[in-house]
């Protein structure tokens, strides 16, 4: 039987209350939301928090809305709600691509976007999605709030910019013209982690790529931000040849390890192919030419 080590449990009744609890309980306290990453880690004793602060009652953290030129997603928004949101599907269809293939429907009823990002598992999909979209992450601490870009959010494997006593509260995505985005994933079977996955976003204005975002899952110790490929795309006309070149960069710039899901050369190849496909679909969506 897998059982977590003993811990103390309390339920937060407000965001301020959750932050106050984290401050009072110290570095051995952890937030629990959906629990579908943290509880398995605790069962394996890979994580042994002394205190859990349950934020599932904080309905004020569960929302998807458009405000001040941004899509704002509350940290407690569950995968199922990201999947079903028509607003997100219209603005950033990459979310529906990803959510269709994240775990399974039962797990998606519980897991949250805040939990996925804070888990910072390199194989997790939403970290790559938010990286490609160049999301801004709102982190609240005692009496203060700061905003961190996705490029600074992952500081290492399973480690984020969220500090002790802090709570990720919101994900912000700028709404700009000409956006197209897509997520491509290959997995061994339904509901599994990716062998490799690629998230892409393009903002095409006047026939040229004004901005590009690309990130990879499961082919490195952290989510891989393909900054070299993004640089290549900026200012260029979208074309299959250009995307093939970006794919080659993806194959070169990832750092997969061999495991039960495949050898290194296969994963590098896959990362390149998926990057190309995600870029092609992003461009087609931006230009409203999706087949």
Partner 1 sequence: MNVSMTVNGEQVSGDVEPRQLLVHFIRETLGLKGTHWGCDTSNCGACVVLMDGQPLKSCTALAVMCDGHEIRTVESLEVDGELDPIQQGFHERHALQCGFCTPGMLMTARALLDENPDPTDQEIRTAISGAICRCTGYKNIVSAVRWAAEHEAGAGARSADRSSIGRAPQQELQSEA
The binding site for partner 1 (CB under 8 A) comprises 1-9, 11, 32, 35-36, 39-40, 42-43, 52, 54, 56, 103-107, 109-110, 190-191
Closest approach of partner 1 to the CB of residue 103, in Å: 7
Choose between 36 and 285: whose C-beta lies nearer to partner 1: 36
Q: Which two tokens stand for residue 119?
A: 């888990």
Spatial distance between the Cα atoms of 83 and 92, rounded to a whole number of angstroms:
11
Choose between 7 and 63: whose C-beta lies nearer to partner 1: 7
The phi-psi region of residue 235 (left if phi > 0; otherwise alpha if psi is between -120 and 50; otherwise beta) is: left
Choose between 76 and 161: whose C-beta lies nearer to partner 1: 76
Residues with Cβ within 8 Å of 84's Cβ and at least 6 positions away in sequence, in order, are none
Closest approach of partner 1 to the CB of residue 59, in Å: 13
Closest approach of partner 1 to the CB of residue 35, in Å: 6
**Cβ proximity of 108 and 99 under 8 Å:** yes
Choose between 1 and 291: whose C-beta lies nearer to partner 1: 1
Burial class (CB in 10 A: 0-12, 13-18, 19+), 11: middle
Closest approach of partner 1 to the CB of residue 289, in Å: 26
Residue with tokens 């500081």: 155
Choose between 48 and 67: whose C-beta lies nearer to partner 1: 48
Closest approach of partner 1 to the CB of residue 114, in Å: 16
Choose between 10 and 70: whose C-beta lies nearer to partner 1: 10
Closest approach of partner 1 to the CB of residue 281, in Å: 21
**What are φ and ψ of residue 84, in 5° steps?**
-85, -15
Choose between 103 and 226: whose C-beta lies nearer to partner 1: 103
Closest approach of partner 1 to the CB of residue 109, in Å: 5
């Amino acid at each position: 039987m897998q059982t977590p080590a003993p811990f103390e449990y309390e339920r937060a009744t407000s965001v301020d209350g959750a932050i106050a609890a984290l401050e009072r309980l110290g570095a051995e306290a952890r937030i629990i939301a959906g629990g579908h990453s943290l509880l398995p880690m605790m069962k394996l004793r890979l994580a042994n928090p002394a205190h859990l602060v349950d934020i599932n009652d904080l309905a004020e953290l569960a929302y998807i809305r458009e405000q001040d030129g941004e899509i704002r997603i509350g940290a407690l928004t569950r995968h199922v709600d990201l999947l079903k949101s028509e607003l997100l599907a219209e603005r950033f269809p990459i979310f529906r691509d990803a959510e269709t293939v994240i775990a399974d429907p039962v797990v998606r009823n519980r897991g949250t976007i805040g939990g996925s990002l804070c888990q910072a598992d390199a194989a997790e999909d939403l970290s790559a999605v938010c990286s490609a979209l160049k999301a801004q992450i709102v982190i609240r601490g005692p009496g203060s709030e700061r905003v961190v870009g996705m490029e600074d959010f992952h500081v290492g494997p399973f480690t984020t910019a969220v500090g002790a006593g802090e709570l990720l509260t919101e994900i912000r995505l700028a709404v700009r013209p000409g956006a197209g985005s897509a997520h491509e994933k290959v997995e061994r079977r339904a509901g599994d982690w990716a062998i490799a996955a690629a998230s892409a976003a393009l903002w095409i204005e006047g026939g040229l790529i004004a901005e590009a975002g690309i990130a990879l899952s499961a082919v490195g110790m952290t989510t891989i931000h393909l900054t070299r490929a993004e640089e290549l795309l900026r200012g260029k006309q979208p074309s299959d040849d250009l995307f093939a070149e970006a794919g080659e960069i993806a194959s070169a710039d990832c750092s997969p390890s061999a495991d039960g899901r495949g050898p290194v050369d296969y994963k590098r190849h896959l990362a390149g192919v998926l990057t190309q496909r995600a870029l092609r679909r992003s461009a087609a969506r931006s230009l409203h030419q999706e087949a």
